[in-house]
Structure 1
Amino acid sequence: MLLPQNGRLSLRGVPRYKEHAHAEAELLREILRCDPGRQSFCVKLLGEFTHAVAHCCLVFELLDISLSDFMRDTDDRGLLLRDIRTIGSQMLQCLHFLSAMGLTHTDIKCRNAMLKDSRGDMVPHPRKDGQELKRLRRCEIRVIDFGGAVLKKERHSRHIGTRQYRSPEVVLGLAWDEKTDVWSLGCILLTLYTGQRPFPVQSSLQHLALMQRVIGNLPKDMVKLAAAGGSLPEDVVVDSRGGLQIQRKLSDEAQELLNLAQPLEQRVLPQHGSFLKLLEGLLAAQPEKRLSAAEALKQDFLSSEPVE
């Protein structure tokens, strides 16, 4: 699958893929119908056609590069807080819009957020002495890849999304809703701030261990519910106090990553307290206590110019 950097997405001529492409196109047309003012920051579908009988092609508005590619091209130095604020606001508007439609994207990640224009100017890095980062001239994104989007009535119990962006409820095999997209956005914003993904994991076992290091112990009721339903990852058990216990030794690399992991509050500079508060709301372990997109849009970080 090709990202729509050149305005076109081509899918191999497999019947199943073609059906998925047509379904995604139909969904994108409905999004556009519900958003004539283009305030949702969802990618705009311009059309679709079949090439050489076998290939279903979707034609999108012209975009530049993904946040993932931008980070790679700028040596993972992150973004200015003012640009993080703009991107956060735009993506939350997108999630709020999707929620109103009864949709969960299910795969919010840096690769599925595309910049309209990645040009910028190098300026001194306000958080890393002696380094520079790129200040975007035009900070505007589009959310792409709606192939995995799920309506409320179609939610299922299978794992969704990309591993490193999965919320605690998804990793534990519990019921999920649109709040899982909010968690994924929290991961994106922290990545843009630090330059590093908060959960660079390769297994659910490692993911749960790292989550507890970053955001604290997972709530006992979630852990017990997962245990009762038999959905805990292999080699994870619940102790007598309702806490998670990892029974299998992690690889040396995974253990080193865990040992070096800092709690969330230590990853954000003291002067950026309003940003930390937003992150804590987005990355709350319990979906019931996690901010909704609408609630997050009212946070102080997004309503005032941040101090770099």
Structure 2
Amino acid sequence: PAPVFYKVRSQSDLHPRRNVQPQYRRADPDGGFMSPLQALTLHIPSTYRICNPQFKYESSRNPRRVLTKPSKGTKNNGYDNDDSDYILYVNDILGGGQDQQKYLILDILGQGTFGQVVKCQNLKTQEVVAVKVIKNKPAYFNQSMMEVSILDYLNTSVDRNDEHHLLRLRDKFIHREHLCLVFELLSSNLYDLIKQNQFRGLSTNLVRVFAQQLLDALCVLKEVKLIHCDLKPENILLKNLESPAIKVIDFGSACHERQTVYTYIQSRFYRSPEVILGLPYSTSIDMWSLGCIVAELFLGLPLFPGSSEYNQLSRIIEMIGMPPSWMIEMGKQAPEFFEKVTNEYGDKSYRLKSMDKYAREHKTNEQPSKRYFAATNFAEIVRTYPMPKRNMKPTEINWEMQNRESFIDFVQGLLNINPAERWTPEQAKMHNFILNSKHVSGAGAWE
């Protein structure tokens, strides 16, 4: 017969049938009966033992999950692999020496040329942090000690109250000959954000919110004459996924304006013309990188994705024009890329060497540029970029186009090929694109 339905008005109308002892259920040592889920999780060793009385389980013999690749110990008494990386395991402890905090390893966050970054828990404070475990090599150790001194200075003297979007260094110690740096734990980087957005651009509102914070950080760095030297979307991290607050990380290449010893700096897509040409450089190289970053945030793809230094320079020249003669005459690397030409009136000028000529001289296999955008003019690329939403009202389209014109002018000030004329962070902060934030409030910036 079909079941009869009754209207339930109160809990007393419910008459559940409860099985006091479900069939085939095992008794729980703590009382009652064990569900199949408990038998196969919490009580799995005893379940196995019931199935096979010979089964023995010791937690001490439980294999630990290794996080480092390659995981074979060949150096430093078996603690390091062939690459001089410390072999890290889940639930291992870092630190714990005299007067040292202990850090329980939870998972790997990333691996790079410098070493590894792991997610750990400070066993004293319970805080979850990121620990950078540097390779056991003198060059990396010395470079990382430089990073420590810069961050110590920024955290304690320049940005004491953590207001200017700069990474916080929590602790540092040596563990089995590896320098370990403990940082606040942050979330995804801006490259991951673009990737998660299927390499489609972010809204002008969100680009503005990120640019405002980056300019704030760069103003502070310029004040104390520090150059980051490796600004790129991967080195800008969201604090969490609830808001668009960011932090600038990785001061491993940073230096003081008076100590610009390295010539090979900045990741290629974000490398300034003066660094490519071998000119003296200053904090203005970070402003060039910022211009490349904000353009990429809006477009979803890098503006100058050079496949080599020559290709990088040719893309910059194609979009922005030739550098002034003084940059070519003073640049140590300039003769590699440019040649002198004389016109029929005897006037001398410079031109970029042809791709074939450069390839022959440097024995490289230069390829024509891969094109992401049909136009080569930046203003044209931004103006013709698809609208953020479908079926926008005419007023919304008008507002978006005004925003874009302002954005074009802003980026052009940052991407001035001449470092002497390029905007400083203070100048850029006063631009209409940055100040025009009436449409942004709180989480609305994510829209």
TM-score of the pair, normalised by structure 2: 0.60
Structure 1 contact 165–187 (Cα < 8 Å) conserved:
yes
Larger Rg: 2
Aligned AA (1:263): N
Alignment of 1:82-93 (within 5 A): 82-93=205-216
Instruction: Evaluate the alpha carbon distance shift between residue 57 and residue 262 of structure 1 in structure 2; reply closer, same or farther with a 3 A threshold.
Output: same
Distance apart, 1:267 and its partner CA: 2.0
- CA distance, structure 2, for counterparts of residue 256 and residue 66 of structure 1: 25
Structure 2 gap ranges (5+):
1-114, 120-128, 343-347, 360-364, 384-400, 440-446
**Which of 44, 55, 67 is matched with 2:178 structurally?**
55
Aligned length: 286
Distance apart, 1:283 and its partner CA: 0.3
**Which of 302, 305, 308 is matched with 2:434 structurally?**
302
Query: Considering only aligned residues, what root-mean-square deviation do their CA atoms show, in Å?
Result: 2.3
**Which of 264, 274, 288 is matched with 2:378 structurally?**
264
Aligned AA (2:351): L
1:189 aligned partner:
294
Instruction: Evaluate the alpha carbon distance shift between residue 233 and residue 106 of structure 1 in structure 2; reply closer, same or farther with a 3 A threshold.
Output: farther
Aligned AA (1:160): I
**Which of 353, 360, 376 is matched with 1:246 structurally?**
353
Instruction: Evaluate the alpha carbon distance shift between residue 233 and residue 210 of structure 1 in structure 2; reply closer, same or farther with a 3 A threshold.
Output: farther
- CA distance, structure 2, for counterparts of residue 153 and residue 252 of structure 1: 35
1:198 aligned partner:
303
1:287 aligned partner:
419
1:42 aligned partner:
166
Distance apart, 1:191 and its partner CA: 0.2
**Which of 208, 223, 232 is matched with 1:100 structurally?**
223
Which secondary structure state, in structure 2, belongs to the residue aligned with residue 217 of structure 1?
Answer: coil
Structure 1 contact 213–261 (Cα < 8 Å) conserved:
no
1:168 aligned partner:
273
Distance apart, 1:235 and its partner CA: 5.0
What's the CA shift string for 1:219-273, capped at 9, x where partnerless? Answer: 22222333xx4x2263532333523222333768534539955211112224311
Structure 1 gap ranges (5+):
120-136
Distance apart, 1:284 and its partner CA: 0.3
Structure 1 contact 157–174 (Cα < 8 Å) conserved:
no
Stretch deviating more after TM superposition (259-268 or 274-283): 259-268
Percent identity, aligned pairs only, is 29
Which secondary structure state, in structure 1, belongs to the residue aligned with residue 368 of structure 2?
Answer: helix
Aligned AA (2:223): A
Structure 2 contact 306–369 (Cα < 8 Å) conserved:
no
Structure 2 contact 189–238 (Cα < 8 Å) conserved:
yes
Structure 1 contact 186–279 (Cα < 8 Å) conserved:
yes
Structure 1 contact 187–198 (Cα < 8 Å) conserved:
yes
Which secondary structure state, in structure 1, belongs to the residue aligned with residue 416 of structure 2?
Answer: coil
Stretch deviating more after TM superposition (13-22 or 281-290): 13-22
Aligned AA (1:213): E
Distance apart, 1:197 and its partner CA: 0.3
What's the CA shift string for 1:117-159, capped at 9, x where partnerless? Answer: 2x3xxxxxxxxxxxxxxxxx41111111111111122113613
- CA distance, structure 1, for counterparts of residue 197 and residue 118 of structure 2: 21
Stretch deviating more after TM superposition (153-162 or 137-146): 153-162
Aligned AA (1:50): I
Which secondary structure state, in structure 2, belongs to the residue aligned with residue 242 of structure 1?
Answer: strand
- CA distance, structure 2, for counterparts of residue 259 and residue 194 of structure 1: 10
1:28 corresponds to 2:151:
yes
Which has a greater percent of helix? 1
Which secondary structure state, in structure 2, belongs to the residue aligned with residue 60 of structure 1?
Answer: strand
- Higher RCO (C-alpha under 8 Å, 6+ residues apart): 1
